[in-house]
Amino acid sequence: MPLAPRLLVADQVAGSVTVLDLPDGRVTGVVAGRHLAEHAGFLALPGGRWAFVDDLAGELVVLDPYGPDAGRPLVPVTVPVAVPAEHLAADPSGRHLAVTTGLGRNEAAWTDLLTVIDLGAAAGPRSVRVRTRAGEPGVTLPAGPGGPLVVLRHREPGSLTAYRYADLMAAGPACPPATPSWETPLPDHDAHGDAHDPLTGRLFAAAGSGVHRARRHGDRLVAEEPLPWAGPGRGYYLRLDPVRRTLWSCVRGGPADPARWPGWTNDAWYHVLDTGRTGRVPLGPGLVFRLAVGRRHVAYARVHPDGDELVLLDAAAPRVTARRPLPPMDGAPRPGATPWDGVQRRAVAASPGADLTAVTRGGHGEVHVFDGAEPLATLSLPTPLDDGGHLALTSPEDGAWADPVGR
């Protein structure tokens, strides 16, 4: 019998990761005492494995959601890393990883530690920590002759900075400073959002002036013309759809004051990598941030005082195909205050190999599952999923690892 899709549900506040069969919600595994670094998210790896950073323990945790079905452990690997984790990415092989550090619960940048990891080292998984530059850097690992590069996307001031992965792994103890092999400025100081296309080796960084592009050339990167946002606003999130080879984001416009977030405008932005076709699709006002890529659709969760909804787009011919209401959250964002401080949120997940979408109801311990546009089930978790929790939806051989940036 084919294995069913599975949902990874992280409650980063309570400290747990639960693996559920879909659609019935049967619990197939629990990893207790693990506090997922929500900003770094889950990272799909080849072979159906997933990785995340435990922000309390300071460890990269590798999950094998289908492992116990075949007599393998649910957690086959853990590796020490520096925290608080900001971003997590792998090279296309899934063997070489990098974790950047960010603010955590601090008001200003204070740590410059970068961790590089070799999951396939001869003596067992190994990690090395070096110093780079304090901030909130994104990271990608384009492959090439001589091994991958570790490319950090900095802001304030903006730059792309490349390091030879082999040089970082050869660093000694005590967190020495690392020397870049190449660096170039980004014209904006507000870059936020990264993607990497393993097929071409191109890197993408979202910023106010557009999506900046670079491709690997030896130990350097060659900058290319940025992609425009095709209208006002800018995208704060960027990810690769590996099925249709399309970049997706959500472009936000409207008032600059975060307390006026109900008046923000939101458009789904897309760029088809192989044809260059670029466009936008209106999603509606309010708070829209992360998105999820399914077999036939792209899913966004929209939060607004007049009612929350799941918005589904046809991924091949981008247009809204369904809007499904979501039950309200106690502690939801309110007009006149920021939509991310001390409020409940929603996480959304989908798999490139399935037609299911899952979205959380933060603070209520609920996950709503949809089959296409139709409500399928409401799953109850033993913890409240404060701050919205975090999700990953996986199905066998879905190819999700072709997007090698944590989400």
Taking only the tens place, the pLDDT of each residue in 275-304 is: 999 999 999 999 998 999 999 999 999 999
- Average the pLDDT over 15-34 and give the result: 97
Query: How do beta strands 202-207 and 210-217 pair?
Result: antiparallel
Hey, what domains does the chain have and what are their CATH numbers? 6-402 (2.130.10.10)
CB atoms within 10 A of CB 279: 14
Taking only the tens place, the pLDDT of each residue in 224-283 is: 999 999 999 999 899 999 999 999 999 999 999 999 999 999 999 999 999 999 999 999
What angle (nearest 5°) sits at the alpha carbon of residue 312, between those of residues 306 and 318?
120
- Average the pLDDT over 15-31 and give the result: 97
Taking only the tens place, the pLDDT of each residue in 160-170 is: 999 999 999 99
Q: Is the dihedral of CA 140, 145, 147, 150 positive or negative?
A: negative
Separation of alpha carbons 358 and 86, rounded Å: 24
> Is the CB of residue 383 less than 8 Å from the CB of residue 32?
no
Residue 377, both tokens: 């089930």
Banded pLDDT at 351 (limits 50, 70, 90): very high
Please, which residues bridge with residue 311 across strands?
A: 300, 323
- Residue 190 pLDDT: 84
In the predicted structure, residue 189 carries a pLDDT above the cut 90? no
The answer for residues whose C-beta is within 8 angstroms of residue 107's C-beta and 6 or more apart is none
- Which among 232, 242, 155 is positioned nearest to 197, based on CA atoms? 242
- Per-chain mean pLDDT for the chain: 96
Taking only the tens place, the pLDDT of each residue in 211-227 is: 999 999 998 999 999 99
